């Protein structure tokens, strides 16, 4: 696409976000789930935190996927499904060049996986598995058996200290022009500084830090 990532300004992003056209029914249900997330956390079933993707970051990701017609997604750290919901709703919008979108979601904490499945059913109905596949395992284990599949969109929300190691392992699986979005790069900058230095310095990436939500790093691979 003929646009420069580094020239994206926040006001432009806001305009684009409002043009992202998330289906109102899904948006309503999703915002309702955000409101209930505190209650879910208090149940004590999900460990220390749920850490849902900030809705502003979710809307940006939704727009990015639609605008670039991205169709092959990978998500590391799916939690109970907030980020998944933003990604899947974008992949479900009219397919790019007739190609149906698909997402592989990784989450290794099984109580969260169960809740993730409930949320997908609630938001997208029983047919959600046509678009998104949950792999209830760690990134490292999945990678050993992942075959040759390549991705044009990757979302990172696992342990921030692992971002760089995981990105390096994924390099052979990135399509030319693939986007990698990493969450919490402002809120947890000290844990992923090595990742930020890498994507900003390595010539294969064009990368920009966006001050929306908890801070997201948007990097394009060439
Ligand atoms: C910040 S939370 C994810 C929140 C989720 N993206 C959302 O928006 O709802 C991070 C999750 O990553 C999972 N996780 C951490 N390291 C992982 C790994 N190496 N492989 C798979 N899942 C991982 C944790 O169990 C945790 O649920």
The domain segmentation of the chain, as residue ranges, is: 5-221
Look at 10-19, 158-167, 180-189 and tell me which has the smallest mean pLDDT.
10-19
| pLDDT mean across residues, the chain | 90
Contacts of 180 (CB under 8 A, 6+ apart): 153, 154, 155, 156, 167, 174, 199, 217, 218, 219, 220, 221
Q: CA 28, CA 34: separation in Å to the nearest integer?
A: 10
Position in ligand 1 atom list of the atom nearest CA 166:
19
Distance separating alpha carbons of residues 197 and 63, to the nearest angstrom = 26
8 A C-beta contact, residue 135 and residue 111 = no
**Tokens standing for 46?**
């999900």
Range in 41-55, 116-130, 204-218 the model is least confident about: 41-55
Q: Decide whether any atom of ligand 1 lies within 6 Å of the 115 Cβ.
A: no
- Residue 70 reports pLDDT greater than 70: yes
pLDDT at res. 20: 57
73, 80, 107, 181: residue to mutate for ligand 1 pocket, most atoms within 8 A of CB: 107
CATH hierarchy code of domain 5-221: 3.40.50.150
pLDDT class for 6, splitting at 50, 70, 90? very low
Contact 216, 210 (CB under 8 A): yes
Q: Is the dihedral of CA 183, 184, 189, 192 positive or negative?
A: negative
């Amino acid at each position: 696409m003929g646009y420069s990532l580094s020239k994206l300004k926040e006001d432009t992003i806001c305009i684009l976000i409002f043009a992202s056209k998330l289906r109102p029914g899904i948006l309503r249900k999703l915002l309702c789930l955000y409101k209930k997330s505190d209650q879910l956390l208090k149940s004590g079933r999900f460990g220390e935190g749920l850490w849902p993707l900030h809705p502003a970051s979710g809307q940006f990701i939704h727009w990015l996927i639609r605008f670039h017609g991205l169709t092959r997604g990978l998500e590391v750290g799916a939690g109970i499904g907030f980020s998944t919901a933003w990604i899947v709703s974008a992949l479900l919008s009219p397919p790019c060049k007739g190609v149906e979108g698909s997402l592989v979601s990784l989450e290794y904490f099984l109580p969260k996986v169960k809740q993730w499945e409930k949320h997908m059913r609630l938001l997208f109905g029983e047919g959600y598995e046509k678009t998104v596949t949950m792999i209830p395992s760690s990134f490292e284990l999945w990678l050993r058996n992942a075959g040759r599949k390549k991705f044009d969109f990757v979302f990172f929300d696992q342990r921030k200290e692992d971002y760089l190691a995981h990105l390096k392992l994924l390099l052979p699986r990135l399509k030319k022009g693939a986007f990698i979005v990493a969450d919490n790069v402002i809120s947890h900058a000290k844990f992923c500084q090595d990742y930020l230095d890498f994507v900003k310095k390595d010539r294969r990436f064009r990368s920009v830090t966006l001050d929306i939500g908890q801070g997201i790093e948007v990097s394009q691979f060439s």
